[in-house]
Structure 1
Amino acid sequence: MSFLSNLRKRFDSKRVTLQLDDIQGLILRSRPEPYVGIHAMLHVDDAAGGRDLIGRLAGHVPSAEGWTEDMPAWMGVALSHAGLKALGLPDDSLKSFPLAFQQGMAARAAQLRDEGENEPETWEEAYQNESCHIALSIFAQSDAELQRVKANAMAELEQATGVRLMGTHEFGADKEAKNPFGYRDSISQPTVAGAGVEPNPGDERAIAAGEFILGEDSEAGSPVAMPSPDVLGRNGSFVVLRKYESCVGAFNDFLREHGSDEEAQDRLGAKMFGRWRSGAPLNMSPDQDDEALGADRDKNNDFDYSDDTKGLICPHSAHMRRMNPRGSKLTILTDQNIHRIIRRSSTFGPKWSRDMTTSDDTGDRGLFFIFISARAFDTIEFLQQEWINRGNFLDLGEERDPVVGLHEQPGRFTIPDQPVRRRVNGVTTFNRLRGGEYMFMPSISALKWIGEGSWLRG
């Protein structure tokens, strides 16, 4: 069953309580498979010209109404705090945003543990010195559709005054939708209450809409704080954008060093990720990959770790288990539901192959780690500090995520086993940060409000 068929099967308009016609479609609409797309970063030099561009782009941004139906391509627009300031928003509005968003990602490097080879001074120009004011993201089913929507956006930019294009990056993956390391990704996505869709098997219950949509009740029973005025904040959300350069050859070499043959290498890789390359989870297929299971959306997420308390099937330190410990007993108590995120990650560069080595790591492959949440900044800083760059919450001390952790010195990966656990040494940084920013994704009405500069008319 195709992704859209599966989605429509679970959708009932009678369950919709959200204002879908005001929410940007990108928040609820998952990327197609296969997919292509482009991210573009813009800088605003003239407030009036920037507002005019935002107003015209608003007409090209589809809402979430009909988000379960087929759409060949779509665009989303997000703004940084520096961008909102450059657009001339009033001080009261600017100060109403979360402090982390006001400061920006680079200024939060200490909280994010973006140090050493990941520190902001190493980032690409488009992400330095608060240069990224507006981020445009286009997802499409085909190159032709991508070029059509891209042409519309670029035509609006060419007519704009006082707005500069800082950089673009195209991305895409085939129908297997695999990341640079050859693993199917973005499988586990939360179901948003009020969006009209019942959870897939294994997706647990629907998460309160306010965890993703500003102005709606959160898991705590009330909305999280949102920017003012109401027209600016309501039905918007926050976005974390982080661009990574993936060291695929180094990862392959690591597997070869610690695996005597391809079977052993694939098993170690699955232990590090928590899934086989097909997407089949270890907890449902512990001994070998299962292509049919990996491709089955009704089954490939239907599990938790409650029956694997010792991590003998999926190690506690595996990337997937760290990012969603579903059913795990954690040493540091956390409400896992307030750390759920909507992923919109995108892969770029050549497709993975087994014969790549460290010498092939030329910076031309990687991924944009993009996620959406009403608590985005608290969530990413918690993830970076606790679940990614240390292991104290699962009794592993300073052991870091083996896939996305920053390893300033070669680290280790622990695989529980009987009678003695196995420790694999020599883990290095396999994903190097090359830039990022904290963004705000306004509602459709907020984009129009910004475009019109309504506050200037008193």
Structure 2
Amino acid sequence: MSDLPHADIQGFILRTYAMPVLRVFALKITQVEAARRFLGKLVNGESEPQLATATDWTVKPQYCLNVGLTYTGLAALELPASSLASFPEEFAAGAPARADRVSDTGESSPDHWKGQLASADLHILLFLFAETEDILEEITDQLRTGYSSHDAMAELSVHEGRSLSGNAAHFGYRDGFAQPTIDGGLPPLMPDVLPKAPAGEFLLGYPSQYSDFTYPVPTPAELGRNGSFVAFRILAQDCHGFERFLTEAARQTGLDRELIAAKLCGRWRNGVPLSLSPDSADECILLEQRNSFDYVPSDSAPDAFDDRRGYRCPLGSHIRRMNPRNSRVAGNSGLKHRIIRRGLPYGPPYDPANPDDGIERGLLGLFIGVSLKDQFEFLMSDWGNRGNLAPGLRDTRDPIIGDNSRPGATFLIPIEGQKRPVELAGLSSFVICRGAAYCFLPSATAIHYISTLPATSSTPGVITTTI
């Protein structure tokens, strides 16, 4: 298809910013007209700060600002009832009400979420990415001046993300691979050998990958078209527990602990996929080559090793569950349910010499797609926390992000020439959800539309939903 209207689309849908600093503001609308004016100024092309769109960069900006609106936020902005009714059921229900579907139970349940993220008062998330700490503080001051003006919004909480050395996540794996290439969009930082994803998988108003199907666009069109949805999640990582598990699994099986770490993820910690290098973390495989693989020979990778049994990369590994590529999986849907991932770690690097420092660390994650239900929720439930992705997984779950709190949770490593896989016992939930929100990502046109709605009451009322 021809190029998308980049100037109307929020930038982080189509582009990786690669900025080292992130601050997320959780806000409550307290004065409707003032809140609308604040949002309108973000897209007026005049005063700073401005919404970051997907317009081509001639010079990389010093910051990028994006906006997410919850369903209760749209209601608090007093959108017409017909518009509110046109949004998908899962978005209207919100992340707390859908927690069970994505295994946010036990320690991950909304009862334990922080920053008032489980509250119906959560209306807006502002995502501020910056190149430096000084720029972050400068734009933060401007934002706070703007949303506190005329009591437009109250700050519920603020959440900080910072990049780690080597673009790593807290478990030590290099991150940032395997982003889909969107037809009509911008090229990803890492080349992707898989077919381009239709724009309608990530933007409302365009054909999806399903024949003759386009996801419904919230009405009116100027509100819904070119928008998307995001699941924002604060994911605490138990680094000490993860490293302890690797050591114990190596002791029990005789396998190298770094090989076990690679089998759990599907990549060595430097990002080299097992599919390309099953025996070592081969640094000779260049960064730009570390996403050029498949699990079976395919049009995307005709020379790929046929790993249908998972001898190189286990079927239940994290990256194979989240993106099976051309693997044969239930419903022949390996190339469906793709998702855009953004975010940054939070908390200081893990220090093995001081493993019990009592400091929380993890990921501020943004998971973007046109359907929260068919993309994010499907990945977390059907593929991440059930064994029905492919035959032979039994009742296992994603070994890294899955809910492995139940007794007897295991991970299976198939070994060529052996009838039975190596079974790793002693798994636990290494990732705990500490907060989540479902947000609509409106286009620049939609934000302008909201800002120019007819004047209504000044103070938003109590919002209820029966969904």
TM-score (norm 2): 0.88
Q: Which has the higher helix share?
A: 1
Residue 390 of structure 1 corresponds to which residue in structure 2? 386
Of stretches 432-441 and 39-48 in structure 1, the one that deviates more from structure 2 is 39-48
Structure 2 counterpart of 1:412: 410
Kept after mapping to 2: 8 A contact 1:189/1:203: no
Q: Which amino acid letter does the alignment assign opposite residue 284 of structure 1?
A: L
Counterpart of 2:216?
A: 225
* Residue of structure 2 equivalent to 1:347: 345
Q: Which runs of 4+ in 1 moved over 6 A?
A: none
1:238 aligns with 2:246: no
Aligned with residue 40 of structure 1, among 19, 25, 30 = 25
Match of 2:441 in 1: 441
Question: What does residue 187 of structure 1 align with?
Answer: 177
State the Cα deviation string for residues 395-417 of structure 1 (Å, max 9, x = none). Answer: 21220111001122241111001
Q: Distance in 2 between matches of 1:402 and 1:196?
A: 32
Q: Given residue 36 of structure 1, which amino acid in structure 2 is its aligned partner?
A: V
Deviation string 1:137-191 (CA, Å, 9 cap, x unpaired) is: 1112222332233232222123241411011111111451111111111211000
Percent identity between matched residues is 35
Shift of 1:108: 1.2
Match of 2:12 among 22, 26, 38: 26
2:3 to 17, 24, 28: 17
Q: Secondary structure at the match of 2:98?
A: helix
> Displacement, 1:113?
2.5
Q: Is 2:232–2:436's contact at 8 Å kept on the other side of the alignment?
A: yes
Query: Which residue does the alignment assign to 2:102?
Result: 112
SS of equivalent residue, structure 1 residue 110: helix
The counterpart of 2:244, out of the listed 228, 231, 253, is: 253
Q: What is the aligned partner in structure 2 of residue 378 from structure 1? A: 374
Contact preservation (8 Å) 1:29, 1:67: no
Counterparts of 1:27-426 in structure 2, within 5 Å, are: 27-32=13-18, 35-59=20-44, 60-66=50-56, 70-174=60-164, 176-195=166-185, 197=187, 201-220=191-210, 221-260=212-251, 264-293=256-285, 296-297=287-288, 299-306=289-296, 307-330=306-329, 332-355=330-353, 357=355, 359-360=356-357, 362-395=358-391, 396-410=393-407, 411-417=409-415, 418-419=417-418, 420-426=420-426
Q: How many angstroms apart in 1 are the aligned matches of 2:192 and 2:37?
A: 45
Which amino acid is the alignment partner of residue 73 of structure 2?
G
Separation (CA, whole Å) in 1 of partners of 2:411 and 2:370 = 32
| Alpha carbons 1:43, 1:131 under 8 Å: kept | yes
* Per-residue Cα deviation, 1:221-264 (whole angstroms, up to 9, x for no partner): 44311100010001111111111111111101111112249982
For the structure 1 residues 160 and 302, does the alpha-carbon distance in structure 2 shift closer, same or farther, using more than 3 Å as the test?
farther
Whole-Å Cα distance in 1 between the matches of residues 16 and 319 of structure 2?
19
Residue 173 and residue 250 in structure 1: after superposition, are their counterparts in 2 closer, same or farther (change >3 A)?
same
Task: State the AA in 2 paired with 1:249.
Answer: H
Cα offset, 1:210, TM superposition? 0.8
Partners in 2 of 1:317 and 1:135 — Cα distance? 34
The runs of 5 or more residues in structure 1 that have no matched partner are: 1-14
Deviation for aligned residue 1:366: 0.6
Tell me how far apart the structure 2 counterparts of residues 98 and 53 of structure 1 sit (CA, whole Å): 26
Shift of 1:16: 4.7
Superposition deviation, residue 198 in structure 1: 8.5
Q: Distance in 2 between matches of 1:37 and 1:401?
A: 27
Query: Residue 394 of structure 1: SS of its match in structure 2?
Result: coil
Residues in 2 aligned to 1:132 and 1:51: alpha-carbon distance in whole angstroms: 16
Q: Mean Cα displacement is larger for which, 395-404 or 336-345? A: 336-345
Checking the alignment, whether the CA contact within 8 Å between 1:245 and 1:363 is kept in structure 2 is: no
Residue 374 to residue 454, structure 1, CA distance change in 2 (3 Å): farther
Q: Which amino acid aligns with 2:36?
A: R
Contact 1:52 1:160 in 2 (8 A): no
> Aligned in 2, Cα 1:208/1:383: closer, same or farther, shift over 3 Å?
same
Deviates more, 1:333-342 or 1:276-285: 333-342
Counterpart-to-counterpart distance in 2, 1:67 and 1:376: 29
Amino acid paired to 1:370 = L
Aligned-residue Cα RMSD (Å) equals 2.3
Tell whether the 8 Å contact from 2:369 to 2:376 is kept in structure 1 after alignment: no
SS of the residue 1:272 aligns to: helix
Q: 1:182 touches 1:351 (CA, 8 Å); kept in 2?
A: no
SS of equivalent residue, structure 2 residue 162: strand
> Cα distance, 1:434 vs. partner?
0.8
